[in-house]
Amino acid sequence: MRRRPLLALGGLLAMPALAQPSGWRPAAPIRYVVPFPPGSAIDLVGRLTADAAGPLLGQSFVVENRPGAGTLLAVQAVKVLPPDGQTLLMVANSFTVNQTLHRPRPYDASADFDPLALLVGTPHVLVCHPSVAPDFASFLAKARQPGAGLSFGSNGNGTSQHMGLEHLKQLAELNAEHVPYRGVAPMLTDLLSGRVDYTFGNLPDVLEAVRDGRLVALGVVSPGRHPLLADLPTMAELGWPQLVNDTFYGVVMPAGANPETRAALSDALLRSIGRPEARERMRAIGLDVLAQGGADLAARIRRDTAIYAEVIRQANLTPS
């Protein structure tokens, strides 16, 4: 279900040569850690930026997929490495969640890492199996009924999808239970077969299934309607403007790097993702290129940390 839109990224990997910026240069190939399995959207964005940024810095980027423990395995491994610019870490919303969800606190996202680039973002779409409801009003009525309740699937505890689903459950007073999965693919398989009832999905992950009727789109969490689903109302239009739920992909490194190293890495990453052809191809599959620097990523980390900490507190969530 994801293959066709995600494979569109493959064309991005062929790119013209770009002039190398001046400044710091890595002494060896850069280790580029992606805390998700190959084939995921974040992995493909990582490989795009790796292939494009390497020539800018005069060294290759070696992508290392290191999934596990809800991204904690990769984050904790990178945290203790020297801030020499030789190891970078791709992060998503779970980077802001896990520091609050787990006890004792495994890391401090703001203190233990230096932010380099906020690469892309994508909205979440509330979708359900067609047997559940044809529209949001019907879904809301069904999800509030007493009894066994509905089930919502996520791609794992502590992910942005999980947090958004718990937040909606709180706000709308839904009768529903969380079913976590080890990744997007198995969760969507069960959703499409009706073994779970609904989810918040990254737009690229659910777009094809919505278009061909295998899933019903109920609302999108974004400031305005999305051009790829122009008839779909936003969650704010449906009465839930408090809901903040989307996915971002960024890059950080161990804290303490000198400014020249941070600037060179940030520049290479932003130039690789900000090319017009990259923007156009990613927009076509529902990924919005942000191409924002370390200060913007730091602000995003602070914002999401506060939002998700409150969701965790109110729902009394634990890692298991």
Please list, in sequence order, all residues whose beta carbon lies within 8 angstroms of the beta carbon of residue 82, skipping any fewer than 6 positions away. Answer: 254
- pLDDT for residue 287: 87
Q: Does domain 123-229 bear CATH number 3.30.200.20?
A: no
- pLDDT for residue 20: 52
CA dihedral 132, 138, 141, 144 (to 10 degrees): 30
- pLDDT for residue 166: 92
Q: Which tokens in the block code for residue 307?
A: 């939002």
Q: Which tokens in the block code for residue 213?
A: 């009727």
- CATH for 3-121+246-315 (3.20.20.80, 3.30.70.100, 3.40.250.10, 3.40.190.150): 3.40.190.150
pLDDT, the chain, mean: 89
Segments making up each domain of the chain, as ranges: 3-121+246-315, 123-229
Amino acid present at 162: H
Distance CA 234, CA 201 (A): 14
pLDDT (tens digit per residue) in 272-315: 999 887 788 788 778 889 999 999 999 999 999 998 898 898 88
Distance CA 34, CA 32 (A): 7
* Secondary structure E strands in the chain: 30-34, 61-65, 87-91, 113-128, 150-154, 176-180, 198-202, 216-221, 246-254, 288-293
pLDDT (tens digit per residue) in 101-121: 998 999 999 999 999 999 999
Same fold, 3-121+246-315 and 123-229: yes
Full-model pTM: 0.82
State the 10-residue block means of pLDDT for the chain, 320 residues long: 40 45 84 87 86 92 88 94 97 93 93 97 95 97 95 88 92 95 88 97 92 97 92 95 88 97 96 85 84 96 92 83
